Amino acid sequence: MSGPVPGERLVVIGYGPAAHRLVERLGRPGPYAVTVLGAEPEPAYGRPLLTAVLDGTLPVRALRLPEPPPGTALRLGVRAVSVDPRRRLVRTSDGAAHPYDRLVLATGAAPVLPGPGWARDADGRLAPGVRPLRTLADAARLASGSGPVAVVGGGVLGVEAALALRRRGRPVVLVHRGPHPLDRHLDARAGEAVTGRLRALSLDLRLGRTVAAREDAGAALALDDGSRVEAAEVLLCVGARPRVELARAAGLAVRSGVLVDHRLRTSAARAYAIGDCAEPLDGGGYGPDAAPGPTGRVPAGGFASAWDQAETLALLLTGGDGRHSGARGVLRLKAPELDLLRVGTTAGADETVVLGDAAAGRYARLSLRAGRLTGAVLIGLHRAAAGVVRLHQRGEPVPVDRLALLLGEAPPYEAGPPPGTALVCHCNNVTGDALEAAWRAGARTAAALAAATRAGTGCGGCAEEVRVRCEAWSGAGTREEAVS
């Protein structure tokens, strides 16, 4: 990719976390005149942290991301209605036209909604009390409610949302058509461990069930087995699909998402795509629920991957060189009651290590090839999580004492930098040393550490580790003060 010509017009469609990261990394003064078109009236915010609004951990304002660099033309509440790749022109809902020299599609994904039936009125709109969880407005409305909630869908978002609402004191019923929650991510034995833990947390699980109808003027759901769920509020968490309507109408190559190569280029000249709307040519979508593509590869996805794409594209747009590999595939459930980590894949393993401890609610599965980690699932083993992620991402040999690794008793730092320099927050490149330095400088709570270092303000996957470290340092500090 050739470098930019000073003053080139860059139009970004969408203003979620991926678009925000791109604009932030381009910097200012930069080589482009940047215009950002955001369909939501809100400025960019940390979408993965919406469940923290549900349980009251964070106020709405805490999710907002920093202001874009000075000089960025930010158009909020404005929707792009058409793209003309030949004329290089974007038209918007307010009647304006935005010419561009380079275009970035960051349109994200839309929640999957049920077809005509129990969830919709006669005019096709969602029925009162039925909503998805995709925007800040969705989270704020749910957080202001009371009474029982039915969460439909037991994927990552459904489980996180159900636990967040339960922490807020609301009775929750989780309806999931699969055999166990998170069945797209976990094998049957891990699913049993998760199911047991959720039931111990007073979640009412209706597994292998679907909603057949809404009854009693919207106050209850009838399930396909004839049972009932008493709940006037229904949260839909049944998946998301890339927003590709704009790209498809413009003639860009689209499969389930907008097709991009390893340099994030679409089929249209000088047009790129990042985030949930993008799909690699040689694999499935980038999202955490991505299905295998034509080659059978499921690329790493989710929020961290979107930020990686944004940083790669910023480098390319400013004349640098690079490619997006999608190599970071870490799923960390954002729920303090259920510590769950999944990394990599079990494909191609020549050794499998399984640890099951039903009484303590712990489970682990390590998949290795030639002594190195290809994938792992950890439940209730938070002390092992950082080491396992590091081993996977660096391709380092797994220690011979597998049990000590899983119990967190033998740190896997046999080579390379000491533990303090290992990343805790991958989204913001925050190390353990940086966190400890901030704590010693006075940031003595998890919230204060997040404000000082931005750790936990990305995907939120490290929030529990930040909290645990903060508590450990606080305990150690109290003991030191008592001794002195």
Q: Is residue 395 domain-shared with residue 441, that is, in the same domain? A: no
Given this model, what pLDDT does residue 324 score?
A: 66
Residue 65 · residue 22 · CB < 8 Å = no
Whether residue 13 is found in the same domain as residue 95: yes
List pLDDT tens digits, range 417-433. Answer: 445 666 677 666 687 88
Residue 415 is predicted with a pLDDT of 40
Same domain membership, residue 100 and residue 245:
yes
| Under-70 pLDDT residues of the chain | 1-4, 28-29, 283-303, 323-329, 410-423, 426-429, 458-461, 464, 476-484
Model confidence, pTM: 0.82
Q: Do residues 267 and 407 both lie within one domain?
A: no
Q: Do 224 and 370 have their domain in common? A: no
Angstrom CA distances, 127 to 74, 116, 141, 218, 239, stand at: 33, 11, 15, 8, 19
Q: Are residues 149 and 202 in the same domain?
A: yes
Number of domain units in the chain = 4
pLDDT for the residue numbered 62:
85
The neighbouring-strand residues paired with 379 are 340, 363
Q: Is residue 121 part of a domain?
A: no
Domain contains 115? no
Edge-first strand listing for the sheet containing 102-105: 73-76, 32-38, 8-13, 102-105, 271-273
CB 52 within 8 A of CB 456: no
The C-alpha atoms of residue 328 and residue 330 are separated, in whole angstroms, by 6
329 lies in a domain?
Answer: no
Q: Are residues 13 and 105 in the same domain?
A: yes
**pLDDT for the residue numbered 59:** 86
The CATH number covering residue 177 comes to 3.50.50.60
Q: What is the pLDDT of residue 345?
A: 84
Share of the chain above pLDDT 70, in %: 86
Domain that holds residue 211: 130-238
For residue 155, which amino acid is it?
G
SS3 annotation, the chain = CCCCCCCEEEEEECCCHHHHHHHHHHCCCCCEEEEEEECCCCCCECHHHHHHHHCCCCCHHHHECCCCCCCCEEEECCCEEEEECCCCEEEECCCCEEECCEEEECCCEEECCCCCCCCECCCCCECCCEEECCCHHHHHHHHCCCCCEEEECCCHHHHHHHHHHHHCCCCEEEEECCCCCCCCCCCHHHHHHHHHHHHHCCCEEEECCCEEEEECCCCEEEECCCCEEECCEEEECCCEEECCHHHHHCCCCECCCEEECCCCECCCCCEEECHHHEEECCCCCCCCCCCCCCCCCCCCCCHHHHHHHHHHHHHHHCCCCCCCCCCCCEEECCCCCCCEEEEECCCCCCEEEEEEEHHHCEEEEEEEECCEEEEEEEECCHHHHHHHHHHHHHCCECCCCHHHHHHCCCCCCCCCCCHHHCEEECCCCEEHHHHHHHHHCCCCCHHHHHHHHCCCCCCCCCHHHHHHHHHHHHHHHHHHHHHC
Q: How far apart are the C-alpha atoms of 149 and 147, rounded to whole Å?
A: 7
Same domain, 35 and 79: yes
- 326 belongs to a structural domain: no
Residue 19: inside a domain: yes
Distance CA 464, CA 146 (A): 26
Cα angle 143, 149, 153 (rounded to 5 degrees) comes to 105
Residues 71, 220: one domain? no
CA distance 43 to 427: 19
Query: Partners of 91 in the beta sheet?
Result: 82, 97
Give pLDDT, residue 479: 41
Asked if 399 and 366 touch (Cβ cutoff 8 Å), the reply is: no
Indicate the residue among 397, 416, 435 that finishes a domain: 416
* Same domain, residue pair 136 and 105: no
| Same domain as 205, residue 153 | yes
Gyration radius of the chain's alpha carbons: 23
Which of 393, 416, 439 marks a domain boundary? 416
In-domain check, residue 298: yes
| End-of-domain residue from the set 385, 416, 447 | 416
Question: Is the domain of 229 the same as that of 246?
Answer: no
Say which amino acid occupies 237.
Answer: C
334 domain residue, yes or no: no
Assign residue 348 the CATH number of its domain.
Answer: 3.30.390.30
Peptide bond into 132 cis (omega under 30): no
pLDDT at site 445: 82
Domain membership flag for residue 63 = yes
